[in-house]
Amino acid sequence: MNISLSANTRIHRIAVSIFFFIAGLVVATWASRIPDIKNALHLNEAALGGILFAIPVGQVISLPLSGWLVSKFGSRQLVIAAAIFFPLTLILIGFAATVWQLIIVLFFFGLWANLINIAMNTQAVGVESLYGRSIMASFHGLWSLAGFCGAAVGNFFVAESIPPFIHFMIIALAAIIMVIISYRNTLPDEGYKKTSQPIFVKPDKAVLLLGLIAFCSMICEGTMADWSGVYFQKIIHSPAAYKTLGYVAFAGTMATGRFLGDRLITKFGVKRILQFSGILIASGLSIVILFPYLSSAIAGCLLVGFGASCVVPIVYAMAGRSKTMSPGLALAAVSTISFVGFLIGPPMIGFVAQLVGLRIAFAIIALLGLGVSFFGNKIKV
C-alpha cells in the first residue's frame, strides 16, 4: 500500500462518498417530480411506462462503454465528468415540452446515470481495499441518504407548487458545487491495487448469479422510485402534498439499513442478509397492496426500503473482488444484468397497470423481490 495515499485514506473516502450523495440526490429529485411531469404532458400509465423505458435503454447501451472508459481513462476522470453532466441533464428534463423531447433527454439521463454509477463504485472498491474491511454499504448509505433528502426536498417543492424546472436547476447547481469542492480528493487510479488479470473476460457463473440478485432488488427499487408517487396518487388517493411520502419512507429506511449494513453483514453473513432482505421486500409490497391506506402503505414502503438496503452493496462489493475480471468490468457486467430490471420494470408496471391495475402490477414486483432470497441462497461465500 502506498504510504502517502494511506495517510489520506479518510479524505478519499469522504470525497467518494460525496459523489454517491450527488448521484442519489439527482435520481431522487427526478423521481419526486414524475407525477407532475406525467400530469403536465397528459400521460396515462401505459404512456408513462413507455417513456420511462428511455432511461434504462440509455443505461444498458452505456454499460459496455462505461467499463471500457474506466479501463482506458480511469474511474477518477469518468466520475468527475459524469457528476457534472448528470445533474445538467436533469435541468433539460424540466424544460422538455413534448413527449419526444422528454424521451431523448431521459435517454441521456440514463446514460450519465450509469456512467457515474460504474465510476463511483470502482472508486469505492479502491477505497475499500485501502481500509481492508467492508465499507461498501456506507457508500451506498450516502446514496440512499441523498435519496431521502432529495425526496423530502421534492415533497416541499411539490407542496409549494414550484415548477419542476426551477427545482431541477437548484439541485443541479448544488450538485456541481459539491463536485468543485471534492473532485481533487477522489482516489487516484494508480493509488489502489491493480489486477494483472485480463480485462475482457466472459463473466463466470458467480458474477452472473450476483447480477440476478441485483436484478431482483433493483427492479423493486426502480418500482419504488418511478411508481410509488403514482401509486399513492391513484390507489391510496393521498392528498397532493403527501403523494411522495411512500418514496420518502422507502428512501429513509434504505439509508438507515445501509449505514447499519456493514455491521450486520459482518455479524450475520452475506447469505442470511440476502435471504432476509428478499422476505422483507415481498412483505412490504404485500402490505402496500393488501392495505391501500396512507399509514399502512407508508409502513409497507418502510419495509421495502429495509429489505433492499444491503442487497446492492453486497453484490457490488463481491463483484469488485472478482478473480476473473477487473473491478470496473466486473461491476459493468453485474450492472448489465441488474439494470435489465430497470429496463423492463417501469414499462412493465405501466402496461400491466393499464390492463389489470397498479395493485396487480405491484404484486408481480413482490414476487420478484423474493428472488433475492432464492438466488442469495445459492451464492458461495
Count of alpha carbons within 13 angstroms of residue 121, beta-carbon side:
33
Question: Distance (Å, rounded) from C-alpha 316 to C-alpha 309?
Answer: 13
Question: Distance (Å, rounded) from C-alpha 256 to C-alpha 127?
Answer: 22
Phi/psi of residue 349, each to 5°? -60, -45
**Are the CB atoms for 340 and 214 separated by under 8 Å?**
no
pLDDT confidence of residue 3: 42
pLDDT class of 342 with cuts at 50, 70, 90: low
pLDDT class of 343 with cuts at 50, 70, 90: low
% of residues, the chain, pLDDT over 70: 94
Burial-class residue 281 by CB neighbours within 10 Å (0-12, 13-18, 19+): buried
Question: Distance (Å, rounded) from C-alpha 135 to C-alpha 195?
Answer: 20
Judge whether residue 55 has pLDDT over 60. Answer: yes
pTM, two decimals, is: 0.77
Give me the residue label for grid cell 447499519.
Answer: 260
Judge whether residue 64 has pLDDT over 80. Answer: no
Question: Distance (Å, rounded) from C-alpha 155 to C-alpha 149?
Answer: 10
Domain boundaries, the chain: 3-183+198-376
Tens digits of residue pLDDT in 12-53: 899 999 999 999 999 989 988 888 888 888 888 778 878 888
Tens digits of residue pLDDT in 289-308: 999 899 999 999 999 999 99
At the topology level, CATH places domain 3-183+198-376 in: Growth Hormone; Chain: A; (1.20.1250)
Burial-class residue 5 by CB neighbours within 10 Å (0-12, 13-18, 19+): middle
Coil, strand or helix: which one is 53?
coil
More confident residue, 8 or 140: 140
Cell numbers for 273, please give them.
Answer: 442478509
Tens digits of residue pLDDT in 181-231: 999 989 887 544 444 445 455 667 888 899 999 999 988 988 887 788 889
pLDDT confidence of residue 200: 52
Judge whether residue 325 has pLDDT over 80. Answer: no
**Are the CB atoms for 244 and 150 separated by under 8 Å?**
no
Helices 327-356 and 45-52 sit at what angle, rounded to 10 degrees? 170
